[in-house]
Amino acid sequence: MNPGTTRKSLISWGLAILIVVLLGLVPLYGSPYTMILTTSIIMYAALTVSWVMFSGPTGNVSLAPAAFMGMGIYTAASLGKFLPLPLVILVGAAGSFCLALLVGALTLRLKGLYFSIFTFGLVLLMRQLVLWYEVRFTHTRGRFVVVIDNTTIFYVMLAIFVVLLITAHRLRRSKYGAALDAIGEDEEAAAHTGINVTALKTITFSLSALFMGATGSIMATKWTYIDPYIAFDPFFSFMPVLMAVFGGMGTFYGPIIGAAVFGLLEELLLTQFPFYYMLMFGIILVVAITYLPDGLIGLVTKWKKGGRAANNASP
């Protein structure tokens, strides 16, 4: 490592700490509206960063975020009355972790595409199973969630996000991060170098699910009433993918920038023009995939390097 990279990493760490501190000040100096908006942006950033943690290096597109988030939401709805908040979040996170462990162990041996399909259907499956259980045994459709004040939600969400960022960063820099990259390059070759491919993939997948579950458990308290259709909404599976693709998956900040952009757009457009917002969402996804293979960040790097490198920008 040369001095240039050390300085660079110091700057990026400093920047990260500055951003977190600035975010921490939002409830003290910002309006309640700003705080709620920031909460939802941090939620999307947390979902996207945890999605990238697994799907970024391995290239296996997981469409299960909504299932894990829903798991957290239902934990908060069913245990919120009996347990203190930190415990509820821990249980929600652990529940998602276990579900991901099961799903990962069953499907991560399969070819990449089957994994995507299975995880996508998992959201609908969970929705149907929970709905069936509620109608059959509790004879209700939805549940009320214990209400918590917005400032607490904000700080808890921020704390989860910070823990997630540190975990994701440490994982990326560790030998496991390198092993995940190797799996993404060529699974068979990685297996031949002695990496236990399925085990590593399953654990990373479960770790990412843990943070999605925690996010769901705290965000549920903001919605006050939930039912299986709200909790297991496939939309929450697509958002992280779009935000990561749009921001650029290869870098650390790309997904966060993507989350911030779409979090703001959603706030501006979703309530007033829901169909047009979702339509634009689709168009941006298609355009980003066809014209920006490396996302917004890729565009910026390409622009910095100048036209000379433009031809070999995509590997």
Q: How far is the CB of 260 from other proteins (least distance, A)?
A: 20
Nearer to other proteins, 125 or 178 (CB): 125
Among 102, 125, 163, 270, binds other proteins (CB under 8 A): 125
Report the residue number, 46 or 241, with the smaller CB distance to other proteins.
Answer: 241
136 binds other proteins (CB under 8 A): yes
CB of 130 vs other proteins, minimal distance in Å:
10
Q: Among the candidate windows 34-42, 90-98, 150-158, 282-290, which touches other proteins by CB under 8 A? A: 282-290
> From the list 1, 25, 28, 286, which residue makes contact with other proteins (rule: CB under 8 A)?
286
Regarding 132 and contact with other proteins (CB under 8 A), the answer is yes
Which of 18, 102, 106, 309 touches other proteins by CB under 8 A?
Answer: 106
CB of 179 to other proteins, least distance (A): 19
Residue 110 sits in the site that holds other proteins (CB under 8 A): yes
Give yes or no for residue 114 binding other proteins (CB under 8 A). yes
Site membership for other proteins, residue 250 (CB under 8 A): no
By CB under 8 A, name the one of 35, 146, 269, 285 that touches other proteins.
285
Q: How far is the CB of 125 from other proteins (least distance, A)?
A: 5
Q: Decide: is 189 part of the binding site for other proteins (CB under 8 A).
A: no
Burial class (CB in 10 A: 0-12, 13-18, 19+), 31: exposed
Provide DSSP, the chain: --HHHHHHHHHHHHHHHHHHHHHHHHHHHS-HHHHHHHHHHHHHHHHHHHHHHHHHHH------HHHHHHHHHHHHHHHTTTS-HHHHHHHHHHHHHHHHHHHHHHHTTS-HHHHHHHHHHHHHHHHHHHHHHIIIII--S-EE-----HHHHHHHHHHHHHHHHHHHHHHHHSHHHHHHHHHHH-HHHHHHTT--HHHHHHHHHHHHHHHHHHHHHHHHHHHSEE-HHHHT-THHHHHHHHHHHHH-TTSSSHHHHHHHHHHHHHHHHTTT-HHHHHHHHHHHHHHHHHH-TTHHHHHHHHHHH-GGGGGGS--
| Interaction between residue 116 and other proteins (CB under 8 A) | yes
Smallest distance, other proteins to C-beta of residue 122, A:
8
**If binding is defined by CB under 8 A, does position 111 make contact with other proteins?**
yes
Instruction: Write out the two tokens for 26.
Output: 């939002």
Residues 205-244 that bind other proteins (CB under 8 A): 234, 238, 241
315 lines the binding site for other proteins (CB under 8 A): yes
DSSP 50-99: HHHHHHHHH------HHHHHHHHHHHHHHHTTTS-HHHHHHHHHHHHHHH
Which range, of 44-52, 159-167, 289-297, 301-309, touches other proteins by CB under 8 A?
289-297
- List residues near other proteins by CB under 8 A: 59, 61, 106-107, 110-114, 116-118, 120-121, 124-125, 128-129, 131-132, 135-136, 234, 238, 241, 245, 275-276, 278-279, 281-286, 289-290, 293, 314-315
